[in-house]
Amino acid sequence: MAKKDDDILKKVTGSEYEFGFVSNIEEEIFPPGLNEDIIRKISEKKNEPKWMLDFRLKAYRKWKSMEMPQWAHLRIPEIDYQAISYFAAPKKPKYNSLDEVDPEILETFNKLGIPLEEQLVLAGVAVDAIVDSTSVKTTFKETLSNLGIIFCSISEAIQDHPDLVKKYLASVVPVGDNYFAALNSAVFSDGSFVYIPKGVRCPMELSSYFRINAANTGQFERTLIIADEGSYVSYLEGCTAPQRDENQLHAAVVEIIVHKDAEVKYSTVQNWYPGDKDGKGGIFNFVTKRGICEGENSKLTWAQVETGSAITWKYPSTILKGDNSISEFYSVAVTNNHQQADTGTKMIHIGKNTKSHIVSKGISAGYSENSYRGLVKVMKGAENARNYSQCDSLLMGDKCGAHTFPYIEVENKTAVVEHEATTSKVSEDQIFYCNQRGISTEDAVGLIVNGYAKEVIKQLPMEFAVEAQKLLQITLEGSVG
């Protein structure tokens, strides 16, 4: 039994990263290094107005005065920020139709299993495809613009909708919020911008495909989503990255503003290259994601499946400012081999009758470390705030670690805050039960893990749920001893 399990374990943990390939597109890359000149060059390259340059410079100066945070339960190798190139763009950035798009890029997407055409026709998903830094193609723009929805790259938004960008950029994540957010504010290359006008329900799932491509380029995405009064949008973010030996830095910032009666659903499937099975290479994923439920009765839902990256440092958070606002956080984080993840959420209750719900499922295998870190804070004025958090960890193997670090800060007596956490392994009884019924151990583990993560996966939109389930299967099947 043990021998067989070992074999399965080897087979599964030994499987190489499926999406590791490099597409050879001609790229323009800045020399490595970070200084004010580079920032001026980035800004100039993107033809940005002066206020944007000032914004970047302010962030850069702030960043210089900061130190990299050390509090996470992670071992982060020293990062030489001067060895990273901060700008890479495909040389021909504009296309009018699919035919003009570099066939290699199209091929890349095909390999990923999400061909643009198919998505356009079948799934009805508008894709804002990003290869490295510059937005290559934005689809379905017209359909959306008829409804008054703005869905474009943030560079375009800076040119075309400066008022909106000026008003909301860095309003949720201030430039000096943390080390990586400051870095991102200084050098962000591109990202998505979404504005849903009053009372509009976005008819399709908006999706953006990020992909790190060129070697040694950090990817600094910036996403800004604004849902005006009474609107609704569901936004999908998914990542895959080609196999590399050098560590690559990814420091993104996502800001979401939800106005009165509006609802935003933000889903992520993160599958950056996790490094090989000896822990060599892999992406450093240091992300700041934060939303604010600005108006009354607003709602923000985070759903994430994290299977990739060598190191993940990510805490999608919500500020519940409007009365009666609601936020939910659903997360599955899987780590294998030498992966490390320190992830969780923050729920800051400011408004009255605000509610938050946290469900976090961690699965660790191999030599990995998986931590949940979360904060629930109820401010003095947040009457009748309610929070329920549940964090479960599943351990597969005796070399990995699963940790839970919740913080609960309550300053109002009417608040009810509950936190529960358990740690366990896939029990032999469960496997035995499945075996008895003719289900192989490998399939049984798949079943059990998927059942364990189901509460989260069912929150994802359909296509993502399928992808997420596949990812879980690939990463973990049979990893039980």
Partner 1 sequence: MKKKVEKFEKGFLTFFNDIKNELQQTTHHLYDDVANEAASAFETGKLQLPHKKMEDYKYSDLKKHLKSDFVFYTAPEKAKVYPKDLFVCDVPDLDAETVMLINGWFHDYDGKKLKTTDEGIVYGSLLYAYENGYKEIIDAYLNKHLNTGSPLVALNNMFAQDGFFVYVPDNVVAQTPIQLINLVSALEEVFVSPHSLIVAGKNSQAKFLLCEHSIFPKYFLNNSVMQIIALENSHIEYVRLQNAHNESYQFTSTYIHQTDNSSVKTNTITLHGGVVRNNIVASIDGKGCYNEMYGLFLVDKGQHVDNWTLIDHKQAESSSKELFKGIIDDYATGAFAGKILVRKDSQHTDAEQTNKNILLTSDAKMYTKPQLEIYADDVVCSHGATVGQMNEDELFYMRQRGISQKTARLMLLNAFAYDVIKDISVEPVKNAVINLVEKRLSGDLTRCDKCEIKC
Footprint on this chain of partner 1 (rule: CB under 8 A): 71, 73, 378, 380, 393, 395-425, 481
Which of 194, 195, 460 lies closest to 301, judged by CA?
460
* Residue position matching structure tokens 């910032």: 253
Pick the closer one to partner 1 by CB: 258 or 396. 396
Minimum CB separation from partner 1 for residue 317, in Å?
17
Pick the closer one to partner 1 by CB: 76 or 408. 408
Minimum CB separation from partner 1 for residue 377, in Å?
9
Pick the closer one to partner 1 by CB: 47 or 427. 427
Q: Is the Cβ–Cβ distance between 397 and 430 less than 8 Å?
A: no
Which of 416, 245, 389 lies closest to 327, judged by CA?
389
Minimum CB separation from partner 1 for residue 364, in Å?
9
Minimum CB separation from partner 1 for residue 424, in Å?
6
Q: Is the Cβ–Cβ distance between 273 and 245 less than 8 Å?
A: no
Q: Give the integer Cα–Cα distance in Å for 378 and 98.
A: 50
Pick the closer one to partner 1 by CB: 99 or 398. 398
Pick the closer one to partner 1 by CB: 47 or 422. 422
Which of 211, 210, 321, 209 lies closest to 260, judged by CA?
321
Pick the closer one to partner 1 by CB: 253 or 365. 365
Minimum CB separation from partner 1 for residue 273, in Å?
26
Pick the closer one to partner 1 by CB: 54 or 420. 420
Q: Give the integer Cα–Cα distance in Å for 159 and 154.
A: 9
Q: Give the integer Cα–Cα distance in Å for 196 and 475.
A: 36
Which of 134, 131, 163 lies closest to 47, judged by CA?
134
Which of 377, 331, 381 lies closest to 356, judged by CA?
377
Pick the closer one to partner 1 by CB: 244 or 349. 349
Minimum CB separation from partner 1 for residue 443, in Å?
21
Q: How many CB atoms lie within 10 A of CB 179?
A: 17
Q: Tell me how far the alpha carbon of residue 21 is from its chain's centroid.
A: 21
Q: Is the Cβ–Cβ distance between 59 and 1 less than 8 Å?
A: no
Give φ, ψ of 269 to 5 degrees.
-120, 115
Alpha carbon separation from 165 to 90, 194, 321 (Å, rounded): 25, 10, 21
Minimum CB separation from partner 1 for residue 375, in Å?
10
User: Which pair of tokens denotes residue 351?
Assistant: 């408004």
Minimum CB separation from partner 1 for residue 86, in Å?
31
Cβ contacts of 285 within 8 Å, gap of 6 or more: 250, 270, 272, 308, 309, 311, 312, 313, 314
Pick the closer one to partner 1 by CB: 35 or 424. 424
Minimum CB separation from partner 1 for residue 199, in Å?
37
